[in-house]
Amino acid sequence: AAEEGFDIEDVEGAIEAAGHGPLPVLAVVGRPNVGKSTLVNRIIGRREAVVEDKPGVTRDRVTYEAEWAGRRFKVVDTGGWEQDVLGIDASVAAQAEYAIEAADAVVFVVDATVGATDTDEAVVRLLRKAGKPVVLCANKVDGPSAEADAAMLWSLGLGEPHPVSALHGRGTGDMLDAVLEALPEAPAQTFGTAVGGPRRIALIGRPNVGKSSLLNKVANEERVVVNELAGTTRDPVDELIELGGITWKFVDTAGIRKRVHLQQGADYYASLRTAAAVEKAEVAVILIDASESISVQDQRIVTMAVEAGRAVVLAYNKWDTLDEERRYYLEREIETELAQVAWAPRVNVSARTGRHMEKLVPAIETAIEGWETRVPTGRLNAFLGELVAAHPHPVRGGKQPRILFGTQAGTKPPRFVLFASGFIEHGYRRFVERRLREEFGFEGTPIHISVRVRE
């Protein structure tokens, strides 16, 4: 590496940075208007505006990446939620429950200027039950005079209240230090406990695509093994289902089966639940209603799974209802609307008739295989050498940037670091990704490519 002009420490640092496994997940929960979204904005460094002024605006995005003191983690924001027909306590509890379920640690936000309310107490009970580490954020402590309000929150029994002004940034550093102490280095529940255990599948898709029908179909025809894995009682919504002779863990099946009819905020709930399930899973089986046009909501769900770095299988459901014409248009729509996951294995199923159910398992296995693929450095560099020689990067400003060497820094999903002599254009990166896929497979998995440029 050194002879190519890269410092060995740079190379090692780049590989380490790119090769991180799945990130631990932090959930931010609390009543409406306590400042959750403002706090999330603070935590992620305002890279994305998440505070909406207009009530009723649907936000699909609920998971963000953040970094503090050199450690990276994901943040699940529950601030996009609105009170619904269930009433405030039930609603806050339900949204907090989903977020807590998927999280490795929780920031519980309380408005210190208001003090602890009955709803706050209800969330405290949930937090106790879940047993996850909690950092208590006493928000809206904009100045020293409000510190006393924060101290009142000792009464919640969650330990030290951290006085914070999410709006002005006051106290957020100390609170984040506490968050890092509470967060495990790697997400314990997603992968730590899954080693050697059943694979985790998130069955996701917009409402009415047929998720519960599909789950019922596979669970009835095959066999529901047990409802609980020994020792994982805090995971009551996951279900073990035997399919194709293999036991799989379908995560958040309660979310699929629960028929809570919500008016306001229903889309947001659905997004939160989807994000939570995706966080817990290794594979996302994305169900799409083939009888209807592919929608923006379908695309958002796909993006969620891809951005989370999960293995992906696309299942086009309700195939029994398709006529010749619809089939024609569906193929056109897939090409244009779902180009971002052209690499995902696809099955055309019917949860009603059972059509092609047996193809689901091979597709899932293919996706997992791609997700776990590791290309040896020697093979990768032989490939890159040939690629660069045959298809050099276009000359820019009299110079020709070149990929010098590369390495796969991690799997699940595959992550590559390429070292280059100059800026590599987006189009060329895409080209490299395409060729990597042609050469090594990677069916059913997103791949990450980062490029380091020699100074």
Residue ranges of the binding site for GTP = 30-37, 77-81, 139-142, 205-212, 252-256, 317-320
| Residue ranges at the known binding site | 30-37, 77-81, 139-142, 205-212, 252-256, 317-320
Contact between 142 and ligand GDP per CB under 6 A: yes
179-208 binders of ligand GDP (CB under 6 A): 205, 207-208
Given the complex with ligand GDP, which of 79 and 410 has the nearer CB atom? 79
Residues facing 315 on adjacent strands? 287, 347
Q: Hey, what are 98's tokens? A: 């989903």
Cβ contacts of residue 157 below 8 Å, gap of 6+? 124
Contact between 227 and ligand GDP per CB under 6 A: no
- Residue whose C-beta lies closest to ligand GDP: 79
Contact between 167 and ligand GDP per CB under 6 A: yes
Q: Are 319 and 349 in contact (CB under 8 A)?
A: yes
Contact between 59 and ligand GDP per CB under 6 A: no
Between CA 285 and CA 241 the distance in angstroms is: 14
Cβ contacts of residue 376 below 8 Å, gap of 6+? none
Given the complex with ligand GDP, which of 256 and 375 has the nearer CB atom? 256
Contact between 117 and ligand GDP per CB under 6 A: no
- Burial environment of residue 147 by CB neighbours within 10 A (0 to 12, 13 to 18, 19 or more): middle
Distances in Å between the alpha carbon of 75 and those of 55, 64, 181, 245, 346?
A: 22, 5, 15, 36, 31
Q: Which stretch binds ligand GDP (CB under 6 A): 155-163, 180-188, 347-355, 417-425?
A: 347-355
Binding mask 14-33 for ligand GDP (x = CB under 6 A): ----------------x-xx
**Residues binding ligand GDP: what is the number (CB under 6 A)?**
32
Binding mask 305-324 for ligand GDP (x = CB under 6 A): ------------xx-xx---
Four-point Cα dihedral 173, 177, 178, 181, nearest 10: 170
Contact between 265 and ligand GDP per CB under 6 A: no
Between CA 253 and CA 81 the distance in angstroms is: 21
Contact between 35 and ligand GDP per CB under 6 A: yes
Q: Which stretch binds ligand GDP (CB under 6 A): 34-42, 68-76, 228-236, 424-432?
A: 34-42
Given the complex with ligand GDP, which of 172 and 190 has the nearer CB atom? 172
Binding mask 425-454 for ligand GDP (x = CB under 6 A): ------------------------------
Distances in Å between the alpha carbon of 420 and those of 1, 210, 388, 405, 440?
A: 11, 47, 11, 7, 21
Contact between 166 and ligand GDP per CB under 6 A: yes
DSSP sequence for 23-40: PPEEEEE-STTSSHHHHH
Between CA 93 and CA 176 the distance in angstroms is: 24
Contact between 37 and ligand GDP per CB under 6 A: yes
> How far, in whole angstroms, is CA 435 from its chain's centroid?
26
Cβ contacts of residue 155 below 8 Å, gap of 6+? 116
Given the complex with ligand GDP, which of 22 and 30 has the nearer CB atom? 30
Rg of the chain taking only CA atoms, in angstroms: 24
Residues facing 200 on adjacent strands? 249
Provide, rounded to whole angstroms, the least separation between the CB of residue 51 and ligand GDP.
Answer: 5
Provide, rounded to whole angstroms, the least separation between the CB of residue 354 and ligand GDP.
Answer: 9
Among 71, 300, 326, 352, binds ligand GDP (CB under 6 A): 352
Which residues contact ligand GDP (rule: CB under 6 A)? 30, 32-38, 51, 79, 139-140, 142, 165-167, 205, 207-213, 256, 317-318, 320-321, 350-352
